[in-house]
Copies of this chain bind each other. A is one copy, B any other.
Amino acid sequence: MRTATCAPFTGETANSGEHQTAQCQARVLYADTDGMGMVYHATYLRWFETGRAHYMRIRNMPYSQVEKSGLSLPVVEAHAEYLKPARYDDLLEIKTKVADVGRAQVRFEYVICCGGKELVRGYTRHAVVNPNGRPTRLPETLREALHGPPGAD
């Protein structure tokens, strides 16, 4: 397992990084750990969701609002690389970035750090689905919110 310092996303300039990232925290519970004494690997997907929800919320486009408009963004692909383990009571930094916004899909990237060290990297890819469960085009307002800086509120 390679050790990495908790750098910004690869290839990200300071400016674009400010625009298209969000950062929040999570504290490791016993509920998150497993019998090896470290965080169970599937738990990180939950924190990816925490990061993604936070990213959208601070752009004044909480995911619950997307759903009220009749759309959903189901996960169609998920990936995680585990570099170092997190342990009970660790305070984690969850960094989320929108990596790609396509015609009918979105890709988020995540870095989870603790004490300045990268623990886990990953991404999720999401389809855009209408109320009938059919793939559909990403609405312009949602595209702009995903691409834009955090909101003013």
Q: Does A152 contact B (CB under 8 A)?
A: no
Mask, A3-34, CB within 8 Å of B = 1, is 00000000000000000000000010111011
A sample of 12 inter-chain contacts (CB < 8 A) reads A29-B49, A29-B53, A30-B36, A34-B35, A35-B37, A36-B72, A38-B74, A45-B45, A64-B89, A76-B82, A77-B79, A77-B80
Which residues 31-70 of A sit at the B interface, judged by CB distance below 8 A? 31, 33-38, 40-43, 45-46, 49-50, 53, 62-64, 67
Q: Does A144 contact B (CB under 8 A)?
A: no
Contacts of A88 in B (CB 8 A): 35, 64, 67
Residues of A in contact (CB 8 Å), total 41
How many copies of this chain sit in the oligomeric assembly? 4
A residues engaging B (CB < 8 A)?
1, 27, 29-31, 33-38, 40-43, 45-46, 49-50, 53, 62-64, 67, 72, 74-82, 85, 87-89, 124, 127, 135
Main SS at interface, chain A: mixed
Which of B27, B75, B77, B82 contacts A75 (CB under 8 A)?
A: B82
